[in-house]
Chains A and B, each alone.
Chain A
């Protein structure tokens, strides 16, 4: 009898570490059943690794010019050919992943929390707060994203940071609307009523009960948005309003390759392929995340 007491399990709240590990474990287990999603995740993982290891992976310096090597077709020496200044395109693509990942990450980090917070506050409080927040969202939603980004870039000066700010400004409203829709459903749930009955404060209900239910769909939406963000960033680069030369931004590379498109196709096509693969991978990953995180889209 006393032995049973000695071995009694002490029940403690699981630490943040074990929680993260166990939910990651469940996630990977489910992911194993989705070969396409797995492929998307692998592409993204490769992209991140390439961005981190760029200086060691790139065969040449991305900005060193050698005019005698200009516009060489893909060969064993230059796997993706060279551009009009004789710079190795593969090296530029490899360094370009850094810019892409940086853009995507910083926009998601800005847009996700802002959209989530505005959405759940509007959905949870309702009434006048909801009306004000949602009208503000509607106003921003009615701006054409690229045009606003253009005007901002014109006002603040072209550059990668301006592009990031400009895209962030227009990218949060869809996320806020999504979070609000989720919060509207969740706030009437019995477990929220129960939480009110045992005295949980509104802030606690908002952050500990409502937010966790809205986060999965926000993550899914963010991932699906990333493809669009990459394209918008590339468009800004293409128009000369994103990252400035000689930064190896993929959109800017297409833009400069456009002049030689017919005779030297690889200058524009190689960064095009990189953009295509990356945004495709983000789309696939977003789709898979929706299947995994959102039970309403569960596959039969």
Chain B
């Protein structure tokens, strides 16, 4: 579904060149959930933002659904993947009603006004229809994140890119959102790429985990590895020991 080869993201010029992501290659199968873990600043969010198309300073090749993806994307390419952001307080426009936010993707794509889609979009993330006329500030963090997920799904993307979707939420809400994501994945056969530094979240969601350090991958763990706690590199062992203590 996704194939990334030799992805580099470099900031700065000449002497100040700073590799944020260095020669990263990976692929994700259809219906698979890939996790990317690592400490703050290791470049995991940058990989995700390059996949989404927000970060445009990358070199290398990205393939989605068998087609190479350029830096500026056509509407069809945009429809392939959508992203859920970390901060549910920043990812919804404060002056747009929930209904507007959910109708916007379809409207912006030029596929009609999108309002007929709003009730189903709300229902599939477990929110009542009357929320359509509310503003984001009238919702809790978990509810907002549900709206953000619903919005990401309105264009029926095959790939959902999740940038720490639960780290801004309360622990009890985290589980709800993760279960919602799992249900949606199974229902629609979605492919997930999940970035997180919370290993519990990763272990709950992912089929395969890549461990990232200083802009490159240092380890790859399968679901069985995660259960058994086996690691193949020093860094991932350290990471796991500190997080499970």
Note all chain B residues with C-beta closer than 8 A to A197: 52-54, 78, 82-83
- Cβ of A191 within 8 Å of any chain B Cβ, yes or no, is yes
Note all chain B residues with C-beta closer than 8 A to A212: 93, 95
- Cβ of B90 within 8 Å of any chain A Cβ, yes or no, is yes
Smallest distance from the beta carbon of B192 to chain A beta carbons, Å? 16
Inter-chain contact A199/B75, CB cutoff 8 Å: yes
Stretch from B29-37, B97-105, B182-190 that touches the partner:
B97-105
Note all chain A residues with C-beta closer than 8 A to B119: 8-9, 11
Bound Cα distance from A12 to B113, whole angstroms: 10
- Cβ of A213 within 8 Å of any chain B Cβ, yes or no, is yes
Smallest distance from the beta carbon of A212 to chain B beta carbons, Å? 5
Inter-chain contact B133/A14, CB cutoff 8 Å: yes
- Cβ of A56 within 8 Å of any chain B Cβ, yes or no, is no
Bound Cα distance from A191 to B92, whole angstroms: 5
The 0/1 profile, CB within 8 Å of B marked 1, for residues 188-202 of chain A is 011101111111110
- Cβ of A13 within 8 Å of any chain B Cβ, yes or no, is yes
- Cβ of A60 within 8 Å of any chain B Cβ, yes or no, is no
Smallest distance from the beta carbon of B149 to chain A beta carbons, Å? 12
- Cβ of B132 within 8 Å of any chain A Cβ, yes or no, is yes
Inter-chain contact B94/A11, CB cutoff 8 Å: no
- Cβ of B219 within 8 Å of any chain A Cβ, yes or no, is no
Residue in B79, B85, B105, B113 whose CB lies within 8 Å of A193? B85
Residue in A191, A199, A209 whose CB lies within 8 Å of B78? A199
Tally of chain A residues near chain B (CB < 8 A): 22
Most chain B CB within a 10 A radius of its CB, from A12, A14, A190, A201: A190
Known: A13-B103, A197-B82, A198-B82. A213 touches B94 (CB 8 A): yes
Bound Cα distance from A199 to B94, whole angstroms: 20
The 0/1 profile, CB within 8 Å of A marked 1, for residues 210-233 of chain B is 000000000000000000000000
- Cβ of B109 within 8 Å of any chain A Cβ, yes or no, is yes
Bound Cα distance from A289 to B86, whole angstroms: 32
- Cβ of A135 within 8 Å of any chain B Cβ, yes or no, is no
Most chain B CB within a 10 A radius of its CB, from A8, A193, A200, A201: A193
- Cβ of B151 within 8 Å of any chain A Cβ, yes or no, is yes
Tally of chain B residues near chain A (CB < 8 A): 38
Nearest chain-B residue to A205 (Cβ)? B108
Inter-chain contact B108/A200, CB cutoff 8 Å: yes
Nearest chain-A residue to B110 (Cβ)? A199
- Cβ of A25 within 8 Å of any chain B Cβ, yes or no, is no
| 121-149 of chain B: CB within 8 A of chain A | 129-130, 132-133, 148
Inter-chain contact A209/B105, CB cutoff 8 Å: no
Bound Cα distance from A191 to B88, whole angstroms: 10
- Cβ of A30 within 8 Å of any chain B Cβ, yes or no, is no
| 153-194 of chain A: CB within 8 A of chain B | 189-191, 193-194
Nearest chain-A residue to B91 (Cβ)? A190
Nearest chain-B residue to A215 (Cβ)? B95
The 0/1 profile, CB within 8 Å of A marked 1, for residues 49-60 of chain B is 000111000000
Known: A195-B108, A196-B54, A198-B104. A11 touches B99 (CB 8 A): yes
Bound Cα distance from A20 to B211, whole angstroms: 51
Smallest distance from the beta carbon of A184 to chain B beta carbons, Å? 15
- Cβ of B115 within 8 Å of any chain A Cβ, yes or no, is yes
- Cβ of B118 within 8 Å of any chain A Cβ, yes or no, is yes
Inter-chain contact B53/A13, CB cutoff 8 Å: no
Note all chain A residues with C-beta closer than 8 A to B152: 194
A-B pairs, 10 with minimum CB distance: A198-B105, A200-B108, A190-B91, A190-B90, A190-B85, A191-B93, A212-B95, A11-B132, A199-B75, A199-B109
The 6 listed contacts between A and B (C-beta, < 8 Å) are A8-B129, A12-B115, A14-B97, A197-B54, A198-B155, A204-B108
| Given A190-B87, A194-B151, 7 other A-B residues pairs in contact with their CB atoms under 8 A | A13-B100, A190-B90, A191-B90, A194-B83, A197-B54, A198-B151, A198-B154
